[in-house]
Amino acid sequence: SFAFAFTDNLVRDRKFMSYGAPRFLSTYAEGKGEHFDVELPGHPVAFFFQFKIPEVMQRKRWLKAGGRLDVPFYRMNLRQDKFFPQHHGLLACETAGKNVYYACPRFHTNPELDRLFSRGEIHHHSAWFRPSKVTPPEYVSPHGVAYDLTGQKAEVRSETPRTYEGSFDFA
């Protein structure tokens, strides 16, 4: 539901210049080397999104020492299967000059989804993370991004936590 609502609201936004129909990939295509969920033809370049549904964190335990997020916050996990092939595929797309993002909601209830969708604001209440900003430092530990509801604070989390640098919203 989030992927459809995000895509619909984004292509209907007058600030986003889409010139074709969204291309949603099948799980089969993703497994054969395409590492994104949807491609949006845009001008001058296309956008590629990998959607992630985060966990809602109610306690700071996951942040360990130095965590600066207030609860509740969200945690987007990256898959560790076989050394992060999805993440490395997204990095390769970004390195090739494509606009590639992980897209995650900054809300977590169905009433919020319905309200934001009807207003055309799903993409404004979502976190957009560049793969290059969340590069895994190693291949053996759990890895992800923790972020707040406001879209102002985020931390790349693994064995060595780092503050996420830069904005991560539609603007």
Q: CA-CA distance, 107 to 92, in Å (whole number)?
A: 29
Beta strand pairing call for 99-105 and 47-51: parallel
Per-residue pLDDT tens, the chain, 171 aa: give them.
999 999 999 999 888 877 788 988 766 555 566 678 898 887 677 899 999 999 998 877 666 655 678 888 999 987 665 555 788 788 888 998 889 999 999 999 999 999 999 999 999 999 999 988 886 655 556 678 889 988 888 888 765 555 666 666 666
Give the pLDDT of residue 102: 94
Q: Where are the alpha helices (DSSP H) in the chain?
A: 2-12, 27-31, 85-95, 110-119
Q: Measured between alpha carbons, how far is residue 86 from residues 29, 50, 55 in Å?
A: 12, 9, 19
Closest CA to 76 of 95, 93, 62: 62
Give the pLDDT of residue 147: 92
Q: Encode 135-154: b = buried (16+ Cβ within 10 Å), e = exposed.
A: ebeeeeeebbbbbbbebebb
Give the pLDDT of residue 83: 53
- Scan for tokens 């984004």, then name that residue: 10
